[in-house]
Amino acid sequence: MDINKLAEQLVAQGKEDDIFSFKVQPIHGDVEVLKVTVEDREELPVFLSIADTQILCISYLFKKDEIISSETASMNEAMLSMNVQMPLSSFAMIDEQYVVFGALSVNSTIDDIVHEIEMLSDNTLEALEAMKAYFK
C-alpha cells in the first residue's frame, strides 16, 4: 500500500463522509507517516504509518509528567479496565508519552481505514475525559 495514494484517498473519502472530514499531511523520514487531522479536533491528530503487514494509527494523549505522581498506578489500572470498552483501540506508552492506538491489515479497505481513524479520534476524546482526574 502506497502512503501517498492513501493520503489522497483519505482526503477524498473525508469529503464524502457525512460525519468527519480530514486534512492529511505527510511527514517524511525513516518511516513515512501521515498526520491525519479530523475536522474540529485539530489538537488531537491521528498519526498513520504503514508497515509490511499492518497499518498503525496512533493518537498521543498526554505525557507521564502531566499526571499526579501518586495517582499513576490508579490511572494505569483505570486505563487497563477501559481498554476492553474502547472498540478498535488500545492504550500504550511510547517513551514518556501515553497513546491510544489501533492497527489494521494492509489489505484493509479505505472504508475500514476511515472507520479506524474516526473511532480512534472518538476514543481519544473519551480517554482524555475519563483520565482528567489524574492530571496535575
Residue 14 pLDDT greater than 90, yes or no: no
**For residue 16, what pLDDT band results from cuts at 50, 70 and 90?**
low
Residue 1 pLDDT greater than 70, yes or no: yes
Residue-wise pLDDT tens digits, 39-89: 888 899 999 999 989 999 999 999 999 999 999 999 999 999 998 888 889
Q: For residue 17, what pLDDT is reported?
A: 61
Domain count, the chain: 1
The per-residue pLDDT of the chain, averaged, comes to 92
Question: What is the CATH number for 23?
Answer: 3.30.1460.10
Parent domain of 99: 3-134
Taking the C-alpha atoms of residue 62 and residue 25, their distance in angstroms, rounded to an integer, is 22
CA-to-CA dists, residue 103 to 38, 62, 65, 108, angstroms: 18, 20, 27, 10
